[in-house]
Chains A and B, each alone.
Chain A
C-alpha cells in the first residue's frame, strides 16, 4: 500500500497537503487584506487628484486578483481533489475559499471603476466608504484566523464585521441622498457615484457574507 492509502480508505487526509492548504489560506488572507487596503489607498489618491498612483494601484489590485484566482485553483486541483480533508470539511473549506475570493473580486471591480471615473469630482464620503470596507476585510481576516483555534473570538470578530458593514451602508445612502436630491451633480456624475458606491460597499457586503458563513460554522460545531 502506498503512502496515504490508509488515509484515502478512511478519508483521514494527507498531513503534507493539509500544511500546504494552511499556507495557501494564509496567502489568500493576505491578498484579501492587501486588495481592500489598496482600494482605500486608491480612493485617497483619487481624492488628492493623484491619478498616476490610482492607476498603479489599479494594476496591483488586478494582479492580486489574478493571483488569488490561482490560489483558489490550487486549492481545488491540489488539495481538495486529493482528499486532504474529510468530505464535509472539504466542502466547508471550499466555501470559505470561494467567499474570500469574492471579496478580492469586489475590490478589483471597485478600483477599476474608480480609475475609469477619475475625471469626476472626488468626494470624501467615497474615501470613508472605502475605509469602512477595508476595516470589514481586516476584521474578517481575524475572524478567519480565530475560526480555526477559538470559536468564541471568531464570533466576536464576525459580529464586528456586521457593525462596520452597517456604517459603510449608511455612508452609501448619505452619498445617494446628496447626489439624487441635490442639484450639484449632472446625470453622468450621479450614475458614476451610484456605481462606485455600490462597488466599494460590495467589498463590505462580501466580507459580511463571509462572516455569516463563519458564524454558521461556529454554531454548527459548538
Chain B
C-alpha cells in the first residue's frame, strides 16, 4: 500500500484498512503452498516442540515491532523467521532437546532462501525500471498538461487495482511465513469439521495470522508505510504503478511456485528503480538504514530466538 500512499492516491488510513482486509483473504486463499517449505524443510523435517514454536514467534514479533515502531523500517518477516529458527535450533541441545543443533538445520534450504533474498530485489529493480521506461515512452505521447492529468488519473485507478493483487499475494506469502512454525505442528495437520464443513487444519493459523497481520498493519504498519511512501523516493501515480506492477508480477509468480520471496526487498528495490529512472532524488540515507536493517535482521532474530527460548523453556514440561 506504500506506493499508493506515496502517490497520494490513498490516505494512510484508507491504505491500512484496505490492506488489512485483503491480507486476511490472501492468507487463507494463497498461504498454504509457502508454509510447507519454510515450516518443515528448514529443520530437516524435525518436529518442533511447542516451546520452540512459541520462542520463534515471540522473538520474531519482538524484532518486527522494535524495527517498525522505532524507525518505521520495512523488515522482512521471512528473514525474521529464518533467524529465529536458526537461533532456537542452535541452542536446543543445551536445553535437553536431542537431535537438534546446528547440524539439524538444512543449510541447503537456507541457501535457497538466501538466494531468493538476493535475487528478488535484483529482479524487482530490473523489471520495475523496464516497466517504467516503457510507461514514460508512452507518456511522451501526451501533448499537454490536460493529457498528462488524464494519464495520471488512469494510473491512479490502475495502481489501486494492482495493489489489491499485490496485497493478496503478500497476504499469502508473508502470513504463511509468519505462521510457518505453527503449520508444522501435528495439532494443525488434522481436518476440522464444523457441521458439514471440512476445514484443513492449517487454515486456523493462517486465519489467525491474517487477522493479526491486519491489526498490525493498522496499529504499527502505518509508520512503515510512511517511511516507504515518503522517505525513499518521490512518487507519482505512474511511477508508483510501474513499481507495483513489478512487485505484483514477482510476488504472484513466486507465491504460485511456493518460493519464500521477500516482498519487502522487491518493493524497496522497485521504488528505488522508478526513482532512478525518473532521475528524482533518492534518499540514500534511508536506503542505507533499510539495507542495514536487512543485514542485521537474521542475526538479531537468532539472538532473540536464543534468549526467548532459554527464558520460556522452563515453563514447558518435557514430554
Q: Report A's interface with B, CB cutoff 8 A.
A: 9-13, 85-89, 146-151, 154, 217, 221-222
CB contact between A221 and one of B14, B145, B237 (< 8 Å): that residue: B145
How far, in Å, is A25 (CB) from chain B's closest CB? 11
CB <8 Å contact, A86 and B153: yes
New A-B pairs, 4, CB < 8 Å, besides A10-B157, A86-B152, A149-B144: A10-B160, A147-B144, A148-B144, A148-B145
B47, CB-defined interface residue at 8 Å = no
Which of chain B's residues have a CB closer than 8 A to the CB of A146? 144
B138 CB, nearest partner CB in chain A, Å = 13
Q: Which 10 A-B pairs have the closest CB atoms?
A: A87-B8, A149-B144, A148-B146, A221-B148, A148-B145, A148-B144, A147-B145, A12-B153, A150-B143, A89-B149
Q: Is B152 a contact of A88 with CB atoms below 8 Å?
A: yes
Residue from A10, A87, A89, A151 in contact with B144 in the complex, judged by beta carbons closer than 8 Å: A151
Q: A10-B157, A11-B156, A12-B157 are in contact. Are A86 and B149 (CB under 8 A)?
A: yes
Contacts of A85 in B (CB 8 A): 149
CB-CB < 8 A to A88: which residues of B?
8, 152, 236
Q: Of all chain A residues, which has the CB nearest B234? A: A88
Contact of A12 among B14, B145, B156 (CB under 8 A): B156
**Least Cβ distance of B145 to chain A in Å?**
5
Tell me if A221 and B142 are in contact (CB < 8 A): yes
Cβ 8 A contact of A149, one of B8, B14, B143, B156: B143
**What is the CA–CA distance of A86 and B9 in the complex, to the nearest angstrom?**
8
Q: How far is the CA of A149 from the CA of B147 in the complex (A)?
A: 8
Binding site for A on B (CB under 8 A): 8-9, 14, 139-140, 142-146, 148-149, 152-153, 156-157, 160, 236-237
- Least CB distance from A26 to B in Å reads 14
Specify the chain B residue showing the minimal Cβ separation from A88: B236
Provide the residues of chain A in CB contact with B160, threshold 8 Å.
10
CB proximity of A158 to chain B, nearest CB, Å:
13
- The answer to whether A10 and B9 touch (CB under 8 A), given A86-B237, A89-B152, is yes
Cβ contact within 8 Å between A151 and B143: yes
Q: Which residue of B lies closest to A13 (CB)?
A: B153
Q: How far is the CA of A51 from the CA of B168 in the complex (A)?
A: 75
Chain A residue at minimal CB-CB distance from B139: A221
- Distance in Å: Cβ of A24 to nearest Cβ of chain B: 15
Contacts of A217 in B (CB 8 A): 145
Q: Which residues of B contact A150 (CB under 8 A)?
A: 143-144
Give every chain A residue within 8 A of B148 (Cβ-Cβ): 221
Closest to B160 in A: A10
Contact check: which of A86, A151, A154, A221 meets B8 at CB < 8 Å? A86
Closest approach, in angstroms, between the C-beta of A150 and any C-beta of chain B? 5
Residue of A nearest to B8 (CB): A87
B144 touches A154 (CB 8 A): yes
Chain A nearest Cβ from B313, distance in angstroms: 50
User: 20 interchain pairs (CB within 8 A)?
Assistant: A10-B9, A10-B156, A10-B160, A11-B8, A11-B9, A12-B153, A86-B9, A86-B156, A88-B8, A88-B152, A88-B236, A89-B152, A146-B144, A147-B145, A148-B145, A149-B143, A149-B144, A151-B143, A151-B144, A221-B139
**Bound-state Cα–Cα, A24 to B142, Å:** 24
Which residues of the partner chain A approach B149 to less than 8 Å between Cβ atoms? 85-86, 89
Most buried by A among B139, B144, B156, B157: B144
User: CA separation between A149 and B157, bound complex, in Å?
Assistant: 23
A87 to B10, CA, bound (A): 11
Please, how many angstroms separate the alpha-carbon atoms of A154 and B147 in the complex? Answer: 14
